[in-house]
Amino acid sequence: MADFDLVVRGGTVVTAERTLQADVGVRGGKVAEVRAGLPAGATEIDARGKLVMPGGIDSHCHVEQRSSSGVMCADDFYSASVAAAFGGTTTIMPFAAQHRGDSIPAVVDDYAKRAAEKAVVDYAFHLIVSDPTPQALQEDLPAMVKRGITSLKIYTTYELLRLKDDEVLDVLLAADRERALVMVHAENHEVIQWIARRLLERGHKAPKFHATSHHPIAEAEATHRVISLTRLLDVPALIVHVSGIEAIEAIRAGQKLGASIHAESCPQYLFLTADDADKPGLEGAKWCCSPPPRDARSQEAVWQALKDGTIGIYSSDHAPYRFDATGKLPHGEATTFKEMANGVPGIQARMPLLFSEGVGKGRITPNEFVALTATNHARMYGIAPRKGTLDPGADADIAVWDPQREVTLSASMMKDNAGYTPYEGRTVKGWPVQVLVRGQLVVDDGRLLAARGSGRFIPCGTPAPVARAGERRDNAAGAFRRLIDS
């Protein structure tokens, strides 16, 4: 009998910490041994000339989710997870979304059933909390944490999702008590609405005005405000989809003051700018998401922040809406920038874009690539060391990358249901040619091998946002906290 079920042989193994020439032996779906010269496996993958890396974790993607305005996104768990796998991602973390009036347990039960039937990669869930009632925060949140859902997203914008500052404080305090992590969509709603109203009054309806209304100062103000609220309570939070210079400056300032503030960015802020939405007619709607892509200086600032650790998480914020009445164009040709569904697809392109432009152009190392696309997510959301590493004992979630393979991105190769890609026509160098989940081949050189429903739910443990250097106040343990939280 062979020593291993599978050996991935002869590749360059890259993890967040190290790079070595080694074979990876898999037994029972787990990494069993990593060293050169392993004995034969029952099956073998020839990885000579290839990079053998942990499969990606996409900890921010919208899948089979209804928006607050009632629009269903274009992907279900099957299409989104297939697209993820073809792009080298082996775990996805979408959102079970509580809309106002919804019962959180009912939302999660429904979402879990949908995922179990369809996903081909592993998955964990975050909550979205838009109705932070005592029931939600005191009863449902602790029950969800026990169930393995230990992170939740809140919003400062979108009419039907946004929380007021006192509600943000309620959520931060309750989450801290349960050791859950709060993710925040930080944009100033009233500033956005005010600009949008004035633009529309002046006849400016085209998609490009979406970026004008979602001004970087609206993002920076809300980011600063949310960080201030976390400092008041001395609790952690993660600012999602950071788009550029202004928000990054606010995050750096908070981190310097000792705030436990963590940050995420996404491909649209590295590889797109606001100019992409400036197209004839409504075409530009395909490039509209919130916050919007900014400019070349902001792209550089995001690269710098990924490099220096200000931003530790690189996710897709995949939010697929079709270019028709079901998504981007609810009023057909008459649709204004205020009425389009917000979001861009990116679950498949996320890792190849960063590999090509980041590793390929020397902006980040291969180890940093693994940290930013997998390992940091696993630690942040409490699924390490099961996910995000190739250490013995971890799930054998492996992506074998051909660093020389050139691929031109196009809608026709994307497995999601958006029907377009904002990266159409870009050529990337480096591609995940084999992708395994728990030792099973899911994608083999362009062929899907996994069955619908083969992905598993991964319960999250306690999030471990890495503490950053800086002065910490002692509000959490001190008299202030006792006064307001006893």
Residues in touch with ligand DUC (CB under 6 A): 62, 185, 289-290, 317, 319, 342-343
Whichever of 153 and 468 has its CB closer to ligand DUC, that residue is 153
Task: Select from 14-22, 179-187, 400-408, 410-418 the region that touches Zn ion (CB under 5 A).
Answer: 179-187
For residue 52, the cross-strand partners are 13, 400
Minimum distance of ligand DUC from residue 343's CB (angstroms): 3
Minimum distance of ligand DUC from residue 85's CB (angstroms): 21
Q: Which residue has the tokens 């897709």?
A: 316
Whichever of 318 and 481 has its CB closer to ligand DUC, that residue is 318
Minimum distance of Zn ion from residue 466's CB (angstroms): 22
Examine residue 276 and tell whether it contacts Zn ion (CB under 5 A): no
Binding partner selected for residue 343 from Zn ion, ligand DUC, none, CB under the kind-specific 5 to 8 Å limit:
ligand DUC
For residue 92, the cross-strand partners are 58, 123
Minimum distance of ligand DUC from residue 307's CB (angstroms): 25
Whichever of 230 and 342 has its CB closer to Zn ion, that residue is 342
CA-CA distance, 289 to 345, in Å (whole number)?
10
Task: Select from 316-324, 401-409, 419-427, 431-439 the region that touches Zn ion (CB under 5 A).
Answer: 316-324
Whichever of 23 and 75 has its CB closer to Zn ion, that residue is 75
- Token pair, residue 457, equals 């739910």
Minimum distance of Zn ion from residue 258's CB (angstroms): 26
Whichever of 185 and 468 has its CB closer to Zn ion, that residue is 185
CA-CA distance, 235 to 484, in Å (whole number)?
14
Whichever of 121 and 319 has its CB closer to ligand DUC, that residue is 319
Whichever of 109 and 159 has its CB closer to ligand DUC, that residue is 159
CA-CA distance, 45 to 324, in Å (whole number)?
43
CA-CA distance, 329 to 465, in Å (whole number)?
39
Minimum distance of Zn ion from residue 92's CB (angstroms): 13
Binding partner selected for residue 289 from ligand DUC, Zn ion, none, CB under the kind-specific 5 to 8 Å limit:
ligand DUC
Minimum distance of ligand DUC from residue 270's CB (angstroms): 16
Footprint of Zn ion on 375-434 (CB under 5 A): none
CA-CA distance, 244 to 348, in Å (whole number)?
23
Minimum distance of ligand DUC from residue 19's CB (angstroms): 35
Residue of 27, 185, 214, 318 that binds Zn ion (CB under 5 A): 185
Binding partner selected for residue 207 from Zn ion, ligand DUC, none, CB under the kind-specific 5 to 8 Å limit:
none
Task: Select from 10-18, 104-112, 181-189, 389-397 the region that touches Zn ion (CB under 5 A).
Answer: 181-189
Footprint of Zn ion on 317-336 (CB under 5 A): 317
**Of 79, 121, 122, 125, nearest in space to 105 by CA:** 125
Minimum distance of ligand DUC from residue 157's CB (angstroms): 8
Binding partner selected for residue 220 from ligand DUC, Zn ion, none, CB under the kind-specific 5 to 8 Å limit:
none
Task: Select from 108-116, 276-284, 311-319, 382-390 the region that touches Zn ion (CB under 5 A).
Answer: 311-319
For 455, list phi and psi in degrees, rounded to 5: -70, 150
Minimum distance of ligand DUC from residue 314's CB (angstroms): 16
Whichever of 174 and 319 has its CB closer to ligand DUC, that residue is 319
Q: Which residues bind Zn ion (CB under 5 A)?
A: 185, 317
